[in-house]
A and B are shown apart, each in its own frame.
Chain A
Amino acid sequence: MGKTEGQKSWGWPVVIYVFLAGCGGGTFIFSYLLTILGRYEPVAGIGLLIGPVLVGIGSLLLMFDLGSPVRCYRLFTAPGTLVSSWMARGAWILTAFIILGLAYALPTLAFFEWLPWNKTSVPGLIIGAAAAFLALIVPIYPGFLLGVIRSVPLWNTPVLPPLFFLSGLDTGVALLALVSVVYRAVVGVEGFHLLGAGDIVLIVLLLITLLAYLEIVRQGGITAAESVRLLKRPLFIVGAIVCGMLVPLALLIVSAFASNTATVVAIEGFAGILVLLGGLLLRYSVVTSGVRLAVR
């Protein structure tokens, strides 16, 4: 038996991209919901802008991770590959989301007031709905990108897309909480409690999904078990699970019972930073621990 090591083909750029796709998509979804409900306007407006910007940064990272970045246009010139390749599909999904997301968010800025639509006009509503739909797909797509690779059992499981999706929503709420810290006067204790409640539900769902993922994948064969053993490093256990999920969960539950604005803001802000770090470490662990199947 040789030494066990994760795949070496995809590294940090892909890890950060998967994180930013989840976080950006999640931020956009919740900002869109707030916009539709007409609540916490400045936070939602900034969230709508942050979403596509983060996804754009992630996509640029992927582009420069290519062996030949100047040829990246070729992702769009072979529509036949859409039949089978998730990367080809993803290229279209990401591009469409970045364009539509920005188109929806930009008219709020004074500099872009000349654009012939806004969030309440009919074209604006259509653009917003389309962007929100794509924002749901953007955090899931990396789960399919990795999940269809049969030669890496740690990824080749139907649990991966929901895991990335939930973590994406979770980090999206966390980022909105950080934005709310800046606009704490507008958001108020009630708003923070709303964000906190959403995050508590998401963290619990994420923990259940993560536990199911680890336990079920571990039973999937020698390579899968080796991957899970490799995955369970202190960085993952302490970083992603304890600091990134359990501690924020406890903090958010405490803050749900607090009514002092300064206390709630401090706790929610700190929990938000922890959740974001945890989301990044979760992606890092899953991407780098993918052990390839032995050839025979």
Chain B
Amino acid sequence: MRYGMVIDLKRCVGCNACTLACRAKNGTPAGIHYHRVEKREVGKYPTARMEFRPIPCMHCQRPACLEVCPTGATYKRSDGLVLIDQNICIGCRYCVLACPYEARQSLARIENYFGFGMKTPYETMKHSDLDAGTAVKCDFCADRLEEGLMPACVDTCPTQARTFGDLDDPASEVAALVVRNRGTVLREELGTKPSVYYIDG
């Protein structure tokens, strides 16, 4: 079992609905994002175009963050998810530095969006799961997976650019997509073996 994701860059239009779905679902504090979309220009005039690349946590098979974690707060589950135990993390930020995908952030303070120190009831509820002074990141919506749902970003994507499933199962759609489209991973040379594949545009 190895949960993974395939993101088809030919379909991605850079709308950031995934980023917003992630924020809405996780109630991330101001300045914290578990997901982002990087954009850059590729090619040269007259064939130049924008490339949008959504970047969640790669849930690597050989995670650089897990290697450096001194407390065992970062762990890898048998289903491939790389998670952080918020009760153990000491906030040394070694993993934030080590992750080549900048998927982790240090949650120094829990701040809300709307000022005046007033949190919405939803923020209050979501922030109670978080612990200031620890590292945070995308967890592939582990709680939604338990309920049999897809991660929020996958469900939201209006162009269906994202596919989620078990990469170890040859019959799964994700595994087929990777093979059929020669899926690539980011920074393969670092040997982290990410579980998020891209179909390049």
A positions within 8 Å CB-CB of B: 7, 9-10, 66-69, 71-72, 74-75, 77-78, 80-81, 84-88, 91, 148-152, 292-293, 295-296
Contact = CB atoms under 8 A, between A and B. Distances in A.
A81 B72 contact: yes
B97 A10 contact: yes
Given A74-B90, A88-B70, A295-B102, A66 B133 contact: yes
Nearest to B191: A150
B134 A68 contact: yes
A87 B70 contact: yes
Most buried by B among A68, A69, A80, A87: A68
A61 to B, nearest CB: 13
A77 B90 CA distance: 12
Contacts of A151: 64, 97-100, 190
Nearest first, the 4 A-B pairs at minimum CB distance are A67-B91, A67-B133, A78-B72, A88-B70
Interface of B: 38, 53, 55, 64, 66-73, 88-94, 96-102, 106-108, 131-135, 186-187, 190
Contact of A10 (B69, B93, B108): B93
A9 B88 contact: no
A152 B55 CA distance: 19
Contact of B93 (A9, A72, A78): A9
Main secondary structure of the interface of B (DSSP, over half): loop
A153 to B, nearest CB: 11
A292 B55 CA distance: 16
5 contacts: A67-B108, A67-B133, A78-B88, A148-B67, A296-B186
A292 B93 CA distance: 14
A222 B100 CA distance: 15
A295 B187 CA distance: 7
Nearest to A75: B70
B70 A85 contact: yes
B69 A68 contact: no
A139 B134 CA distance: 28
A184 B20 CA distance: 68
B137 to A, nearest CB: 14
A222 B98 CA distance: 18
B100 A85 contact: no
A182 B69 CA distance: 44
A69 to B, nearest CB: 8
B54 to A, nearest CB: 11
A148 B68 CA distance: 9
Nearest to B40: A296
Nearest to A77: B71
A78 B71 contact: yes
B89 A149 contact: no
A74 B88 contact: yes
